[in-house]
Amino acid sequence: MILLDGKKTATDIREDIKNEVAELVKQYKRPPHLVAVLVGNDPASLAYVKSKERLAKKAGFTSTILHFDKAVSESDLLKTIDSLNRDATVDGYIVQLPLPKHIDEQKIIMAIDPDKDVDGFHPVNLGKMIAQLPGFLPATPHGIMELMKRYKIQTEGKNVLIIGRSLIVGRPLSILMSQKRPGGNATVTLAHSRTQHIKQLSQQADVIVTALGKPHFLTEDMVKEDVVVIDAGINSIEDSGTKSGYKLVGDADFENVSRKASYITPVPGGVGPMTIAMLLKNTLEAYKLNMRKNAKRTL
């Protein structure tokens, strides 16, 4: 079994980004600027946003968190989005999901300038992804593709089972992996909460991606020998053996599934760090785009 080390791979990618930023700053006179909009105090969202900020700064970016009370109105949030769109010193930004129930997530995502949508959630970017045009790919699927590419995982003609159809992971990944591209050319099945006989499907799969948010969902009896397992689940479960009383686990029963797998991602240290690395990569691209636009404006 080979561990797909997302932590190490992401560190390498962030190092490359840092070096590129150091070069570009000489030319453009300021670093890339990433903004994260956070609403409320959900501990997981808070932790994600803080990591994104820390690693952005480590790569030489400017990073700002706009933290709103959970009671913020939809119209106030839309005003913030509008000012971020107009602010030439902001290259890219994300709105951390989920948002409180009184805010229409789709309406917020639609208001983001697609050129600053470094999460790749705007329909313009999702459309470009489907058409295989240049645009921002959603960070987690992009990170999974990059991790598989760097470990030379063969997907061409393989049976891939993706479990979970979220807009953030499963749905876009199912498209990318079925496309004619590196890490693609696979026969993809997208399973979800209404899927029947999942065990029959998983036992036939050469590659399984779990993205459903259920600890220990994928068990040893569900997979064939030499399967590749990409675990995009991040679940916090009680554990009396840790200081906090909690620990992070994926959607796969790592200890047992890893005995049969040829490759597997750990949680933590697998897909999670790759997501952030890809967010920074998208932000670097957004910065270059913004700088070219600004240069045109001053001509």
**Binding residues vs ligand GUN (CB under 6 A):** 94-97, 119, 139-140, 168, 275
- The minimum distance between CB 9 and ligand GUN, in angstroms, equals 17
Handedness of CA 82, 83, 88, 94 (dihedral sign): negative
- Whether 154 is catalytic: no
Check 5, 91, 96, 231 and give the catalytic one. 96
Handedness of CA 221, 222, 228, 233 (dihedral sign): negative
- The minimum distance between CB 119 and ligand GUN, in angstroms, equals 5
Tell which residue, 143, 151, 164, has the closest CA to residue 263: 151
- Roughly how many angstroms between the first and final C-alpha of the chain, as a whole number? 56
- Whether 119 is catalytic: yes
Tokens coding 299: 């001509």
Tokens coding 11: 């560190």
- The minimum distance between CB 20 and ligand GUN, in angstroms, equals 22
Check 5, 52, 116, 206 and give the catalytic one. 52
Check 91, 115, 117, 119 and give the catalytic one. 119
Q: Indicate the residue among 188 and 234 with the shorter CB distance to ligand GUN.
A: 234
Tokens coding 145: 């593709």
Q: Indicate the residue among 24 and 137 with the shorter CB distance to ligand GUN.
A: 137
Q: Indicate the residue among 24 and 176 with the shorter CB distance to ligand GUN.
A: 176
Q: Which residue has the tokens 């240049």?
A: 134
Using Cβ positions, the residue closest to ligand GUN within the complex turns out to be 97
- The minimum distance between CB 43 and ligand GUN, in angstroms, equals 13
Q: Indicate the residue among 67 and 158 with the shorter CB distance to ligand GUN.
A: 67
What is the C-alpha to C-alpha distance for residues 187 and 174, in angstroms, rounded to an integer? Answer: 9
Q: Which residues contact residue 164 at a Cβ distance below 8 angstroms, ignoring those fewer than 6 apart?
A: 170, 191, 192, 209, 210, 211, 212, 213, 232
Q: Indicate the residue among 214 and 260 with the shorter CB distance to ligand GUN.
A: 214
- The minimum distance between CB 278 and ligand GUN, in angstroms, equals 9
What is the C-alpha to C-alpha distance for residues 276 and 84, in angstroms, rounded to an integer? Answer: 21
Tell which residue, 275, 296, 289, has the closest CA to residue 139: 275
| Catalytic sites, residue numbers | 52, 96, 119
